[in-house]
């Protein structure tokens, strides 16, 4: 009896995450050292996912149970799908838009920005990376090196410069998403189903947070970590830290 699509999808996701665990662990640890040093100085860590579903990455580690309170998600309405899916795609392809977003958040030299975009080619993502470099902002990119490298230079989604995110950031966490993202083949259909990028990005980002907290704790420091407000005592736990971050984190 053939395996169900659900079972095959589980196998593909599990295999992909295991590959990331084996091949990206050193890069994750390198990035964690950077984030840990930042947090120990009580500095905000920014996370930006320029693109429709890329925004999920920045939300994954922001205001998240078990997540670092120092993370500030850059949630710009232009590329959020809530404003319209086709509009979101048009905005992420608009040259100069990413620069405007970073200006709005007033990132400065010495800041740290995590840029999350599996495809790593659109105008918003490239402009945000270029603007970050111009401002002296240190960057971590969560992106697929293979996907960007295999996308033709003339593809309409590309930034006019034809550059890739993985060439513009200081540290790359390669999510290794294949061209087209979807991974599951269905008999009789040409197009695959079952995207991989959200799983891959979320795993790398949460692994980065876990390794960061581990490094900080090893130094005898307890960083402020969000507790679920739906858990008993969650509101009380979080309340002791809120004043420390209000006004510093734009979307808090």
CA–CA distance, 196 with 178 (Å, rounded to integer)? 8
Residue of 204, 208, 206 lying closest to 33 (CA atoms): 208
pTM: 0.96
The terminus-to-terminus CA distance of the chain in angstroms comes to 51
CA–CA distance, 151 with 201 (Å, rounded to integer)? 19
Q: CA of 124: how far to CAs of 37, 65, 163, 187, 225, in Å?
A: 28, 29, 12, 36, 30
Instruction: Output the tens digit of pLDDT for each of the chain's 252 residues.
Output: 689 999 999 999 999 999 999 999 999 999 999 999 999 999 999 999 999 899 999 999 999 999 999 999 999 999 999 999 999 999 999 999 999 999 999 999 999 999 999 999 999 999 999 999 999 999 999 999 999 999 999 999 999 999 999 999 999 999 999 999 999 999 999 999 999 999 999 999 999 999 999 999 999 999 999 999 999 999 999 999 999 999 999 999
């Amino acid at each position: 009896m053939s395996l169900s699509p659900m079972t095959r999808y589980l196998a593909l996701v599990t295999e992909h995450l295991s590959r990331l665990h084996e091949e990206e662990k050193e890069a994750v640890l390198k990035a964690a050292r950077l984030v840990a040093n930042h947090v120990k100085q009580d500095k905000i860590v920014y996370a930006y996912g320029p693109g429709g579903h890329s925004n999920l990455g920045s939300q994954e580690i922001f205001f998240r149970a078990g997540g670092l309170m120092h993370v500030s998600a850059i949630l710009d309405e232009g590329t959020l799908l809530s404003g319209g899916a086709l509009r979101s795609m048009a905005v992420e392809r608009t040259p100069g838009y990413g620069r405007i977003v970073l200006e709005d958040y007033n990132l400065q030299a010495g800041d740290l920005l995590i840029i999350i975009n599996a495809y790593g080619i659109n105008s918003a993502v490239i402009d945000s990376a270029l603007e970050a470099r111009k401002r002296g902002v240190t960057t971590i990119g969560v992106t697929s090196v293979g996907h960007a490298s295999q996308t033709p230079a003339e593809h309409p989604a590309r930034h006019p410069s034809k550059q890739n995110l993985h060439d513009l950031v200081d540290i790359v966490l390669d999510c290794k998403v294949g061209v087209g993202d979807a991974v599951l083949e269905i008999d009789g259909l040409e197009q695959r189903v079952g995207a991989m990028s959200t799983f891959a990005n979320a795993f790398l980002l949460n692994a980065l947070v876990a390794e960061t907290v581990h490094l900080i704790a090893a130094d005898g420091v307890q960083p402020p970590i969000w507790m679920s407000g739906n858990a008993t005592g969650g509101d009380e736990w979080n309340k002791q830290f809120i004043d420390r971050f209000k006004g510093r984190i734009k979307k808090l």
